Amino acid sequence: MKITKFGGACLNNPENFLKVVEIIRDEKSKTAIVVSAVSGVTDMLFHAIELALKSENKIKQILNKIHKKHEFLIENTIYDRNFKKKVKRKISYKIKRLERLLYGVAYTRELTDSIKANILSYGERFSAIILSEILTQNGIKATELESEKIKIITDDSFENATVDLKETKLNFEKHVVPLLNKGIIPVITGYYGCTKKGKITTFGRNGSDYSAAVVAYALNSPILEIWKDVDGFMSADPKIVRNAKRITRLSHYEAAELSYFGAKILHPRTVEPLTELKTKIIIRNFYKDGGRGTLILPKGYVKKNIVKSVTFNNEIGVFRIYGPGVGYKPGIIGEIGNLLSQKGINIYSILTSQTCINLLINKRDLEKSHEVLNNLCGGVIEKFVLVRDIALIAVVGEGIKKRKGIAAKVFSAVAKKNINVEMISSGASEVAYYFVVKEKDLKKAVIAIHDEFF
């Protein structure tokens, strides 16, 4: 068994849809496919929502654009006239439903979280239909499956949902396994699921990697192959470090930490469902012969000089909470965590001292956190400070916690460039540590560390 996932960058023109068919035709194992939306379509859906909230005037226009984009794909991949008609009809039907949702938003000027998620899910609905029909036309038995039909069940965090793995697995036994047993390839919509009550939820931008991992879990698949338009994980962001190298092998934990701390290659939660199952994840470049990339295995290995990659996140800011005794006040972190989580604000990390609690959170959540936590001021808390001009750098590699001298090497490389380290955390993870520098020093620091280890 194998799960094959195609990202939007592989689903961008007729030739590439046909290339997907060839990849699937060459596949020897039983396969289920997970798809993203066609490249650019999710962005168009976000835009459509914005327009609808202002007025109904532009809905037709943007829907037309979305419709045309998919018709063009059908036109140039499906040759049989009747077949083509049938597929176009299916797409038109979906477009109609999407249209109703958008007009609903325009008329009410209201957007619930689940209607938003529902609208955003259409990209994957379209691409699943088109791919499964192209496969069928090419003699490969396939059928599109929408997440709510096969019951990919999630909690109700509508823009960053978490799947109930156990329940979803049971549902797959009923709705997906029988198809596989008949030799039919399921083409499953990535990016979204639904609550127990059937309301649509999404897994956030680029969430179809997570969908693919969920499908791998639910079908007990030992292999998850993810096709992208890049080489896989790199020793650093090639846009900053020109001689960055592709990483051929990583452990589940290393991949999870790298994604968590900023590497954009994989959705940060992809590894989550797969550690227990020991699934092998293969990232492959759709645009390179042989699809070379990165292999992510349950068990890692220790590289000679430990560090496999240095990554960064410049979307992170620090929310500082000052007070003479904050470090010693029982329950305060729990209270802060509770208040923030009620508003859907995620805390990346916490560093505390006797007089200050530092929360690492997304920059866009800083103001909102301030509003939410404002009532706590008084008591032990004296004041808040919001720090925006910083960035986080993470150094990742198996063995980093145990080997002596790695931290010294990292920080002396940074110090030599005259860069001040604002905060450090090590020991929280077996395979990573991170530190915070001023945003203006970010590039220099990343290059210095990369030079030190590569």
Residues that bind Mg ion (CB under 5 A): 8, 36
191 binds, among Mg ion, ligand ASP, none (CB under 5 to 8 A by kind): ligand ASP
- Angstrom distance (rounded) from CA 146 to CA 188: 6
Please give the structure tokens belonging to residue 336: 């802060």
Nearer to ligand ASP, 124 or 254 (CB): 124
Q: Choosing among ligand ASP, Mg ion, none, which partner's interface includes residue 205 (Cβ < 5 to 8 Å by kind)?
A: ligand ASP
123 binds, options ligand ASP, Mg ion, none, Cβ within 5 to 8 A by partner type = ligand ASP
CA 317 to chain centroid, in Å, comes to 20
CA distance 278 to 232: 20
Q: Identify what 207 binds: ligand ASP, Mg ion, none; CB under 5 to 8 Å per kind.
A: ligand ASP
Least separation in angstroms between CB 427 and ligand ASP: 33
Q: Which does 273 bind (CB under 5 to 8 A by kind): Mg ion, ligand ASP, none?
A: none
**Main-chain dihedrals φ then ψ at residue 223, nearest 5 degrees:** -130, 135
- Smallest gap from residue 249 Cβ to Mg ion (A): 25
Whole-angstrom distance, CA of residue 149 vs CA of residue 176: 10
Minimum CB–partner distance for residue 130 and ligand ASP (Å): 14
- How far is the C-alpha of 290 from the C-alpha of 132, rounded, in Å? 24
Given a contact cutoff of 8 angstroms between Cβ atoms, the answer to whether 123 and 45 are in contact is yes
Interacting residue ranges for ligand ASP, rule: CB under 6 A: 8, 36-37, 42, 123, 190-191, 205-208
φ, ψ (nearest 5 deg) of residue 327:
-70, -20
> What contacts 51, CB < 8 A, 6 or more positions away?
58, 59, 62
Name the binder of 300 from Mg ion, ligand ASP, none, CB < 5-8 A by kind: none
Question: Which of the choices ligand ASP, Mg ion, none does residue 118 contact, using the CB cut-off of 5 to 8 A by kind?
Answer: none
Which phi and psi angles does 104 have, rounded to 5°?
-55, -45
Interaction partner, residue 186 (ligand ASP, Mg ion, none; CB < 5-8 Å by kind): none
For residue 300, give Cα distances in angstroms to 212, 255, 279, 431.
22, 10, 13, 10
3-state secondary structure of 317: strand
| Partner that binds at residue 399, options ligand ASP, Mg ion, none, CB closer than 5 to 8 Å by kind | none
Residue type, 367: E
CB of 205 to Mg ion, least distance (A): 7
Q: Which of 285, 173, 187, 289 is nearest to 232 (CA)?
A: 285
Q: Return the number of the residue (43 or 276) whose C-beta is nearest Mg ion.
A: 43
Rank residues 270 and 429 by Cβ distance to ligand ASP and give the closer one: 270
Residue 97 and residue 103: Cα distance in Å, rounded? Answer: 10
Residue with Cβ nearer Mg ion (211 or 311): 211
**Distance of closest approach, residue 192 Cβ to ligand ASP, in angstroms:** 8
Question: Which is nearest to 12 in space by CA: 48, 33, 37, 47?
Answer: 37
Structure tokens at 265: 């290659």
- Name the minimum Å distance from CB 205 to ligand ASP: 4
- CB of 193 vs ligand ASP, minimal distance in Å: 12
Which of these, 114, 123, 119, lies nearest to 200 by C-alpha position?
114
Is the Cβ of residue 9 or residue 407 nearer to ligand ASP in the bound state?
9
The CA distance from 243 to 241, in Å, is 6
CB nearer Mg ion, residue 36 or residue 154: 36
Please identify, using beta-carbon distances, which residue of 207 and 323 lies nearer to ligand ASP: 207
Shortest distance in whole angstroms from residue 34 CB to ligand ASP? 9
**Nearest approach, Cβ of residue 201 and ligand ASP (Å):** 13
154/429 with CB nearer ligand ASP: 154
Q: Which is nearer to Mg ion, 203 or 253 (CB)?
A: 203
